[in-house]
Amino acid sequence: MDTKISSILDPSCIRLNLEVKDKADCLRKMVDLVAATGKVKDVERFHAVIVDRERLMSTGIGNGVALPHGKTDVVDESIAAVATLASPIDYDSLDDKPVSIVILLVGPEGSVGLHLRLLSRISRMVGSEQFRSSLLTAKSAADVMALLSGNEEEQG
């Protein structure tokens, strides 16, 4: 199975300058982005998985990035969504800084290994200040896809 983010991210799941009120609104909108692909069998259960995971521990991983994620039987394949926020929001991040990049990852219940590899890959990418600033200045979904693909080529 391919562990490239660019292969599980549909360009329709990319939003630049997304307007959100707060963390709950942000999670809802990210879930709805993925649900719009038609690949989610039960949107409310999917939303509950993401919110429950967030209750365990904030997925605000620092440097202005949040990585909400979960595994559920309401999807048959891993799916990602990416958003840059119009205004940074408080996200209870590990470094207490507001979040302006949100990358949501959802995978099927049985795909623990793949899920962890994808999370690790995303963490490495967003660990780069150059990657984060390029993402924040992207003008289109195509820019974001090119950025991810280029970054993944470098990582191998």
Per-residue confidence (pLDDT) for residue 36, from 0 to 100: 93
Phi and psi, residue 4, nearest 5°: -95, 130
Domain ranges of the chain: 5-155
Per-residue confidence (pLDDT) for residue 1, from 0 to 100: 47
pTM (two decimals): 0.94
Mean pLDDT across the stretch 99-128? 90
Nearest to 94 by CA among 69, 131, 119, 67: 67
Per-residue confidence (pLDDT) for residue 126, from 0 to 100: 93
Per-residue confidence (pLDDT) for residue 112, from 0 to 100: 77
Instruction: Measure Cα distances from 112 to 26, 72, 117 in Å.
Output: 25, 11, 9
pLDDT beyond 90 at 79: yes
Mean pLDDT across the stretch 100-112? 91
Class of domain 5-155: alpha beta
Read off the pLDDT band of 17 (50, 70, 90).
very high
